[in-house]
């Protein structure tokens, strides 16, 4: 049976979909069978990041309405044969899609996978509760800003009312130069504030925000790899986002970034 993660945040635009796609892909590359479920009904874009846009015949609303089985709606990603996508409904609002319907759909495919990741919509409305009710564990994505941390704190308190077996945080878009100059929160500041374990730290990386999709080898690739090792229960040191900005060359890099 798969371990089912919901990837959530509270504040929008912090990188949930980007991380869901990239963590899913890295796990698939490690030989794990992974399904990523687009829980962001209407404003979906997980299909684009996993390369299955326009490849889906059925979506989650077809499964819930009984037009097809969940297995038939799964689309294999061209990025890796172990990565499958369950696309969300393409209609804008789908209140008729119940949490129970999505839960049954996910439960019917979980035997085929090692991991299922459910990409959550922003906010704490119906879509959030629908996605969380399907999961065993939660990953809360947070960026190192006060607003994001405050929203994550609210989300974590709501998540605690669910019977989840774990809640972890990923700090996304961290900048080592800003942390060293005291202009940004560090992952330790965030961990101490939220009192939830940090699963990983992902640097702010132009490669991740580019329109190309696929597996990244650079800094963000290393950081995502470290997260996936931890998810697989292996020992892994978190990505050292400060290393680049320490020592002789690091100081020059930091100064150049400051002048930009």
Joined together, the tokens standing for residue 187 give 């992952």
Beta bridge partners of 38: 119
CA distance linking residue 134 with residue 86, whole number of Å = 14
Binding positions for Mg ion, 12-71, rule CB under 5 A = 16-17
- The DSSP output letter for 97 is S
Binding partner of 205, given Mg ion, ligand ATP, none, CB within 5-8 angstroms per partner class: ligand ATP
Q: Which is nearer to ligand ATP, 59 or 204 (CB)?
A: 204
Integer Cα distance of 14 and 19 in angstroms: 10
Residue 44 backbone phi and psi in degrees, to 5: -65, 140
- Pick 31 or 218: Cβ nearer ligand ATP: 218
Residue from the set 4, 36, 40, 138 that interacts with ligand ATP by CB under 6 A: 40
Query: Tokens 């990386």 appear where?
Result: 205
- Binding to ligand ATP by CB under 6 A, coded x per residue (else -) over 218-237, reads --x-----------------
**Length of the chain in terms of residues written:** 260
109 binds, among ligand ATP, Mg ion, none (CB under 5 to 8 A by kind): none
- Name which of residues 8 to 27 contact ligand ATP (CB under 6 A): 9, 12-18
Cβ neighbours around 260 below 10 Å, total = 5
Among ligand ATP, Mg ion, none, partner that 22 touches (CB below 5 to 8 angstroms by kind): none
170 forms beta bridges with 141, 200
- CB nearer to ligand ATP: give 15 or 200: 15
Retrieve residue 191's tokens.
Answer: 């961990």
Which of Mg ion, ligand ATP, none lies near 173, with the C-beta cut-off 5 to 8 A by kind? ligand ATP
How many angstroms from the chain centroid is the CA of residue 197? 16
Taking Cα atoms as reference points, which of 20, 98, 44, 33 lies closest to residue 71?
A: 33
- Please report how many Cα atoms fall inside a 13 Å half-sphere around the Cα of residue 162, on the Cβ side: 21
Q: Per CB under 5 A, which of residues 172..191 are in contact with Mg ion?
A: none
Binding track, positions 80-119, relative to ligand ATP; x by CB under 6 A: ----------------------------------------
- How many residues make contact with Mg ion (CB under 5 A)? 2
Q: With contacts defined by CB under 6 A, name the span among 7-15, 53-61, 154-162, 178-186 that binds ligand ATP.
A: 7-15
DSSP per position, 129-162: HHHHTT-SEEEEEE-SSHHHHHHHHHHHHHHTTS
By beta-carbon proximity to ligand ATP, the closer residue of 40 and 110 is 40
Footprint of Mg ion (CB under 5 A): 16-17
Footprint of ligand ATP (CB under 6 A): 9, 12-18, 40, 122, 172-173, 202, 204-205, 208-209, 220
């Amino acid at each position: 049976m798969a371990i089912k993660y919901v990837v959530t945040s509270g504040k929008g635009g912090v990188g949930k979909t980007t991380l869901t796609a990239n963590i899913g892909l890295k796990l698939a590359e490690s030989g794990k069978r992974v399904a990523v479920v687009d829980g962001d009904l209407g404003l979906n874009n997980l299909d684009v990041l996993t390369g299955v846009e326009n490849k889906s015949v059925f979506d989650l609303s077809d499964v819930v309405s009984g037009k097809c089985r969940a297995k038939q709606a799964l689309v294999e990603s061209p990025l890796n044969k172990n990565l499958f996508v369950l696309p969300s409904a393409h209609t804008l609002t789908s209140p008729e899609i119940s949490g129970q319907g999505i839960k049954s759909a996910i439960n019917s495919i979980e035997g085929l996978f090692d991991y299922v990741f459910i990409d959550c919509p922003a906010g704490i409305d119906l879509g959030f509760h629908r996605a969380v009710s399907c999961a065993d564990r939660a990953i809360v994505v947070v960026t190192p800003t006060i607003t994001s941390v405050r929203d994550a704190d609210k989300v974590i308190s709501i998540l605690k009312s669910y019977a989840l077996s774990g809640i972890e945080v990923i700090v996304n878009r961290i900048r080592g130069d800003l942390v060293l100059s005291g202009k940004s929160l560090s992952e330790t500041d965030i961990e101490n504030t939220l009192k939830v374990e940090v699963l990983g730290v992902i640097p702010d990386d132009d490669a991740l925000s580019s329109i190309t999709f696929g597996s990244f080898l650079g800094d963000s690739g290393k950081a995502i790899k470290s997260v996936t090792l931890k998810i697989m229960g292996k020992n892994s040191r978190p990505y050292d986002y400060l290393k680049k900005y320490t020592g002789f060359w690091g100081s020059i890099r930091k100064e150049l970034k400051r002048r930009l």
